[in-house]
Amino acid sequence: GRDRFIEEHWGDEDSTNGKYTKPPDAALRQKLTPLQYEVTQEDGTEPPFRNKYWDTDKEGIYVDIVSGEPLFSSTHKFKSGTGWPSFTQPLVPENIVKKKDTKLLMTRTEVRSKHGDSHLGHVFNDGPPPTGLRYCINSAALRFIPKEDLKKEGYSDFLKLFE
């Protein structure tokens, strides 16, 4: 029934032990830059090629700027030529929610974070192998954690990606 559907599509809420949560709006307005707030809370889009991570090639992971939940890895990042960070797949698929987006007179698939409910970007079917997907993500929705800081920042589970 309903509970099984929720479990299958949303995962087990207890698996993160409430580690990743969305702060109240007042706290977000203090924590985030105006662009980060516009992108994550108002479904905005930052300019291509003029954003923090579009050409970053360092090893590490990308987490939600709002909740800290792990979203993407440099191991799945590729140069798409679009001017935004692009990934072939999420690092933790359970932390990604896909929604139908018909705002621009076309149907796209919006990508949001599960726990922070942040607008991240969109996913398209024009990516490279092995997935054929291109997760086109706003830098303003992300915080990059370099490989050497993963343990210090509490993400040591992901160190194995870079061995």
> Which residues belong to the active site?
136
Length, in residues, of the chain: 163
- Give, as one character, the DSSP assignment of residue 107: -
Task: Return the structure tokens found at 148.
Answer: 């050497």
Distance CA 63, CA 95 (A): 10
Q: State phi, psi for 92 to the nearest 5 degrees.
A: -125, 95
CA dihedral 85, 87, 91, 96 (to 10 degrees): 80
